Amino acid sequence: MTHHTSANTTNCDENCSSCSPAQPPQPQKGLPPKSNMDVKHVILVLSGKGGVGKSTVSVNLASALSSHGRNVGLLDLDFHGPNIPKMLGIEDQKPAVLEKHIEPVHVTGTLSVMSMAFLLPDTSTPVVWRGPMKMVAIRQFLDEVNWGSLDYLVVDLPPGTGDEALSIAQLAPNVRGAVIVTTPQDVAVLDAVKAIRFIEKLEVPVIGIIENMSGMTCPHCGETIDLFGRGGGKKAAEDLGIPYLGAIPLDPALVKAGDEGRPYVLRHADTPTWNAVDAVMENLVKLVES
């Protein structure tokens, strides 16, 4: 390979690493084998529609599982909008890149996180990658991150039925299934059904449906307001013969916790919202570990 100095750029060949800007990982030919990372249950968090609360659910579910004695990894696969580090207040941290592996960011002794956000120079840098490049990055997130021995890997996915879900379903070992998050409103439920059909095509089981933003208690009068309706997720679960994991109310405290980078379930206890998230987690554990 011909290498140039800054004074002589005309002679360098196209492989000169000093000349090229940081390159995304290059796709390999053929299907790579499954990762041999040590994890008992990989849980995909998916939705048909965007903005229904996947990342919020992922953060709180992972935190709840870890505070119940499970060793948990949280993998943020939303390459284009990685929100997990912000929601955990660790967006300024960088995973240590060592000779043989990348050390994930450890939130607690039993909760580790990996996200594309850690690897970007700043929060406004977009990732412009095609599917095969994402697949290579996902493989590295599984194989080269020092997750240790995990009980759960919770995977936060972007909305819809794209490359990230396809790749993680192909590459991760012990994919126990997908948790589908929806709001109760018709458009979200319709899209959730599409996501369920998609995940079934990948031969990944659907663990259950979570109805998020399900009713809100007015902080002034105590009345319940069903902003996005109520029961849509539960009905879809019944109609499709899929387990219903429970409902999480619309709660401004969840927004605040996410924006302030403090997982709601670790900062509150015994509120209706905390009990709802805890019940969802318990239902999930029952289905996954039985």
Ligand X SMILES: Nc1ncnc2c1ncn2[C@@H]1O[C@H](COP(=O)(O)OP(=O)(O)OP(=O)(O)O)[C@@H](O)[C@H]1O
- Site of interaction with ligand X (CB under 6 A): 47, 50-56, 78, 81, 83, 158-159, 212-213, 248, 250-251, 254-255, 258
Nearest to 25 by CA among 116, 101, 106, 98: 116
How do beta strands 244-248 and 102-103 pair?
unpaired
Paired sense of beta strands 175-182 and 39-46, if any? parallel
Comparing CB distances to ligand X, the nearer of 93 and 217 is: 217
**Which is nearer to Mg ion, 82 or 177 (by Cβ)?**
82
Task: Please identify, using beta-carbon distances, which residue of 54 and 234 lies nearer to Mg ion.
Answer: 54
56 binds Mg ion (CB under 5 A): no
Q: Fill in the DSSP letter of residue 202.
A: T
Q: How far is CA 123 from CA 53, 73, 127, 240, 244, in A?
A: 20, 22, 11, 39, 36
Per-position x/- string for 4-43, each x denoting binding to Mg ion as judged by CB under 5 A, each - no binding: ----------------------------------------
Which of 35, 47, 55, 60 is close enough to bind Mg ion by CB under 5 A?
55
Stretch that binds Mg ion, among 32-40, 50-58, 170-178, 188-196 (CB under 5 A): 50-58
User: How many Cα atoms are found within 13 Å in the side-chain-facing hemisphere of 85?
Assistant: 23
Q: Which does 50 bind (CB under 5 to 8 A by kind): ligand X, Mg ion, none?
A: ligand X
Q: How far is CA 111 from CA 146, 262, 274, in A?
A: 13, 14, 19
Query: Closest distance between ligand X and the C-beta of residue 87, in Å?
Result: 8
Task: Give the footprint of Mg ion on this chain (CB under 5 A).
Answer: 54-55
